[in-house]
Amino acid sequence: MKGEIDLSHIISLKNRVAIVTGASRGIGRSIAKTLADKGVHLALVARSLEKMKTLEKEIQTKGIKIRIFPVDISEPSVPEVVVKETIEEFGRLDFLINNAGIALSKPLIETTVEEWDRQMMVNARAPFLFSREAIPYLKKSDAPSIVNISSVVGYKGYVLQGAYTA
């Protein structure tokens, strides 16, 4: 890529371990593929087992370990289980990428409390719970990182996304 800076001779990500939520498509998928290219072992989290299996096939030739978690992160017990099983599988955790998110495309006045709650569970509570569970293990890494992916909607709202913008 033009203008890309290669720091691989200074910083190596090889054999690091990352949890990536929302890994089955979009930004999460791209992050997973990029980390795999750098030799990072991956715990991939998303609802679609089929899409994650496809991703796994694409990146398994990179010589990394991959663990798939086909789960719904709106369930409050999921972050604890994912972090615990990631540690059991890989023995460490270096990066947490909180990428998963959902958006409602409907007028705010038509949004139900259940829809609002689900969106908040995925977009706000899950990153909090994942971070809280991961921090004790991340503290053991010599280069830990938590990356929270957000949306441009935080700067500028869009029609039919009042609940998401909030």
Are 52 and 46 a contacting pair, CB within 8 Å? yes
Decide if 164 is catalytic: yes
User: Judging by DSSP bridges, how do beta strands 66-70 and 17-21 pair with one another?
Assistant: unpaired
Q: In terms of Cα–Cα distance, which of 78, 87, 2 is closest to 41?
A: 87
Question: What is the secondary structure of 84-141 as a DSSP string?
Answer: HHHHHHHS---EEEE-------S-GGG--HHHHHHHHIIIIIHHHHHHHHHHHHHTTS
Could you list the active site residues?
A: 164
